[in-house]
Structure 1
Amino acid sequence: MPIDRDKALSADPAVREIHWTTRDVLLYHLSLGAGAAAATDPEPHLTFEKGLTVLPTFALVAGSGISAGEAPVPGLEMPGIDVDLRAVLHAGQDLRVHRSLPASGTATLRSRVAEVWDKGRAALIVLESAATGPDGEPLWTTTTRIWARGEGGFSQDPGPEEHWPAPDRPADTVLTTATTPQQALWYRLNGDLNPLHADPAFARAAGFDRPILHGLASYGLVAKALVDGILDGDVTRLTGLAVRFAGPVVPGESITTSVWRDGPPADDGTERLLLHAACPERDGAPVLTHATATVRS
């Protein structure tokens, strides 16, 4: 079915209620390696329910984990868009948190197609979701970019060019994050049960030697590295993270994240960081590119 851009953009938002528990948050943190050095630093603010704080990237799995029951099969079917999942790639992710996330709670999630760009041989579908708490105040906003191969040709508008100011100097900080061989098996329990991350035969059929780590797992690992390495372990200081997904990580490999400070803090006390994440075991192959983080100074 060809993409109908006008129909997609004019459709009413999909609205659903989501909920999560402390158990969901603990599992999410453990799936990102929290408490790995438990003998010396068990990271109780991430691994123990008393005084638990929430990594902001938990927003991307809230409502889809173990407390939500059996996770739905991933899909991309909505008004004006009916895309073959075999042609779909998660191209980019942007998260903005408007206040600290509670360790358990409920929210109303409103999702819509924000834009559809015609890239010729592919379509770039931009999805936006906004969560509000029971008090009606915003919790977080996400923008997800989906690359749909073979779905172009529906308009003449490729969309704006996105500029990322690549630094021409050494990074101010380089953070290294190890992954474990079972990292993807842990992470999939947050709700994404795609067999690409667990089934060796499925992974080989998809062109990989073995199952790969979820893109959002790499995203969460980089967020945790920023909190640990730059923000003194304070999860509330990370308020935004935008990336392009550039390449996979095999569980057991590591991620090096180069960080550049992009000028002085703004008047509101926030600071922008430029990021580039790569895999050193594969000669620095990029993992996350065109990345920026917003942090409180």
Structure 2
Amino acid sequence: MPIDAAAALAAPPRSTEIAWERKDVLLYHLGVGAGAGLPPTDRDELRYTYEKNLQVLPSFATVAGGGLAKAGGFQQPGIDVELAKVLHGGQRIALHRPLPPAGRAVLENSVAAVHDKGKAAVIVIRGQASDGDGPLWTSDTEIFVRDAGGFGGERGSTARFPAPDRDPDWTVDRPTRPDQALLYRLSGDWNPLHADPDFAKLAGFDQPILHGLCSYGITLKALVDTLLDGDATRVEEYSTRFAGVFFPGETMRVRIWEDVTAATADGRRRLVVNAVSAERNAPVLTDTVLTYR
């Protein structure tokens, strides 16, 4: 069934109640590498791994209460695609205020854009979460669907944030565990591609690969710890484009440039980032931008 862009864009948002507890946040943080590389009881790491004074990485919003899957996943009105042809193309989160360690919210998902790239289609699903105190976050999940283009829609544009033509201002290495994907999937992404060697071979990989959103979280934690004094509440927006695979047990090398042209009068600043597998020098995240105070 071809994509019906008009129907997808006109459909009302799907509303879902979600909830999370401290243990969900703690498990997510362990899944993106908290507690590794330093003594587990290091005070800086305990901000992520101990319920006392617990802070929440903004990337937790991608899995809170079941994440996108809780509201129907990629199957939205006007869109009927084969999951085997779906790739996670990019992710953006805008924070309206710091995420609480435990809470309940209403998540509304809708199709914000449908682009016809010729042979492929790109679908942007927007999630907006609010609780009794108002908006919490807005997320844009960009889905790339092979062999789903040609339906006559607008091509759209792709945001690009290339790294400056100079050496990084900071480079941070984050080793990962061989079982990192097995740990991260407990936060709700049960795709066998990240656990089952036989399934991974069918998909063309020698072994299971790490979730893109796990790489997204690992990189954000590296940025918060390195440049935001470990204070996750300073993050305002975080976006990326998934550029390649990463295997559990490899080292995530995070390259960071300060975008001095983006400083604003109200104190917001911006970092341009990319991440690669240090062992293979292969791209993992590109066009990555962190806006913070």
Aligned-pair CA distance for 1:290: 0.9
1:68 aligns with none
1:19 aligns with 19
1:153 aligns with 150
Q: Does 1:55 align with 2:65?
A: no
SS of the residue aligned with 2:260? coil
Q: 2: distance between equivalents of 1:175 and 1:230?
A: 11
Asked whether the equivalents of residues 73 and 193 of structure 1 are also in contact (C-alpha less than 8 Å), the reply is no
Q: 2: distance between equivalents of 1:72 and 1:96?
A: 20
User: Normalising by the residue count of structure 2, what TM-score does the alignment of the two structures yield?
Assistant: 0.95
- Count how many residue pairs are aligned between Structure 1 and Structure 2: 289
The one-letter amino acid paired with 2:47 is: H
Alignment CA distance shift 1:269-1:207 (3 Å): same
Q: 1: distance between equivalents of 2:60 and 2:221?
A: 11
The one-letter amino acid paired with 1:218 is: S
The one-letter amino acid paired with 2:51 is: E
User: Where do 5+ consecutive residues of structure 2 fail to align?
Assistant: none
Q: How does 1:1-297 map to 2 (within 5 A)?
A: 1-36=1-36, 37-38=38-39, 41=42, 43-64=45-66, 75-135=73-133, 137-263=134-260, 265-282=263-280, 284-296=281-293
The one-letter amino acid paired with 2:229 is: D
Alignment CA distance shift 1:72-1:39 (3 Å): closer
User: Normalising by the residue count of structure 1, what TM-score does the alignment of the two structures yield?
Assistant: 0.94
The one-letter amino acid paired with 2:64 is: A
User: Where do 5+ consecutive residues of structure 1 fail to align?
Assistant: 66-70
Runs of 4+ in 1 over 4 A off after TM superposition: 71-75
Aligned-pair CA distance for 1:103: 0.5
Q: 2: distance between equivalents of 1:80 and 1:72?
A: 18
CA shift digits 1:27-55 (9 cap, x unpaired): 01111121123356262111111111111
SS of the residue aligned with 1:82? coil
Per mean C-alpha deviation after superposition, the further-off stretch among 41-50 and 55-64 is 41-50
Question: Pairwise CA RMSD of aligned residues?
Answer: 1.6
Aligned-pair CA distance for 1:167: 0.6
Asked whether the equivalents of residues 212 and 248 of structure 1 are also in contact (C-alpha less than 8 Å), the reply is yes
Asked whether the equivalents of residues 123 and 150 of structure 1 are also in contact (C-alpha less than 8 Å), the reply is yes
Asked whether the equivalents of residues 71 and 109 of structure 2 are also in contact (C-alpha less than 8 Å), the reply is no
SS of the residue aligned with 1:28? helix
Alignment CA distance shift 1:78-1:107 (3 Å): same
Q: 2: distance between equivalents of 1:192 and 1:161?
A: 26
